[in-house]
Structure 1
Amino acid sequence: MAAPLSNDLRERVVAAVRSGESCRSVSSRFGVAVSSVVKWSQRYRATGSIAPGQMGGHRRRVLEPHRDFIVARINETPHLTLHGLKDELAARGVKVSHNAVWLFLRREGLSFKKNAVRR
């Protein structure tokens, strides 16, 4: 995985841009991309810091807080479809794709078996 470039390099790059040098000449002098020079300068102007932002991490699961509702709906209406469940969630203000609903159900071990005897 790529790591952020050092703060020392970032400081020198931003200092060169602040002294009036163009982003293109600074990028060729320090061997970094022009886009990096522009973004570091913008970050410095906006926040006063050149420190990199957080990299990576995990996204929280959007449907986790609605697990009880989803389980109740599947138990009440076993013939409910993925798109139907997605539409009911959208009516509650949760806009997700049918694939997100499917992945959530699979991860939770829930299914849409229409014949309850075969479970």
Structure 2
Amino acid sequence: MARALSQDLRDRVVSSIESGLSCRRAAARFGVGVATAIRWRQLALRHGRAIAKPQGGDRLSGRIEAQAGFILALVEEQGDITLAEIQEKLAEHGTPVGIGTVWRFFARHRITRKKRPGTLSSRTAPTS
């Protein structure tokens, strides 16, 4: 996704259109696309100013974060519960999410789900 163009550029394009320049000429003058100049003009007419919408960020984790207490209670109640089982319980609870969403929830909360202990190191001398 491309970066949003500066607010200063948006304001200059819109003000030049308002002062009588056509959208095509304003677009050529400031080096933006014709459709962009038209869209900015429409935004300015509708909202008073052509302001860019917020970009990026996580907009979806709020659904699973709202269930944090439920998930943590499941983990505490049944220590060896798998991510797939948690996903299933969330779906039953009315919050269907993907397995990756559950995994990212645990990563954000720094909860590890290792099911077996690590292997012991060898007692023999290292080979060269």
Question: Which category of TM-score, normalised to the shorter sequence, fits these structures?
Answer: 0.5 to 0.7
Residues 15-63 of structure 1 deviation map (CA, whole Å, 9 limit, x = unaligned): 4545472x33331122112342133122112212223344555657422
Look up the match of 2:30: 30
Q: State the aligned residue count.
A: 114
The structure where helix makes up a greater share of residues is: 1
* Residues 4 and 52 in structure 2, CA contact (< 8 A), matched pair in contact too: no
Q: What RMSD in Å do the two structures reach over aligned CA positions? A: 3.3
Letter in 2 for 1:96: V
What is the rounded CA distance, in whole Å, between the counterparts of 2:112 and 2:69 in structure 1?
A: 12
What is the rounded CA distance, in whole Å, between the counterparts of 2:94 and 2:69 in structure 1?
A: 16
Residues 69-104 of structure 1 deviation map (CA, whole Å, 9 limit, x = unaligned): 112212333453323322322333323221010121
| Secondary structure of the corresponding residue to residue 51 of structure 1 | coil
Cα 1:54–1:82 change in 2 (3 A) is same
Letter in 1 for 2:31: G
| Secondary structure of the corresponding residue to residue 24 of structure 1 | helix
Look up the match of 1:89: 90
TM-score, normalised with respect to structure 2: 0.62
Letter in 1 for 2:68: R
Look up the match of 1:102: 103
* Residues 83 and 102 in structure 2, CA contact (< 8 A), matched pair in contact too: yes
Letter in 2 for 1:42: Q
Letter in 1 for 2:89: E
Percentage of identical aligned residues: 31
TM-score, normalised with respect to structure 1: 0.65
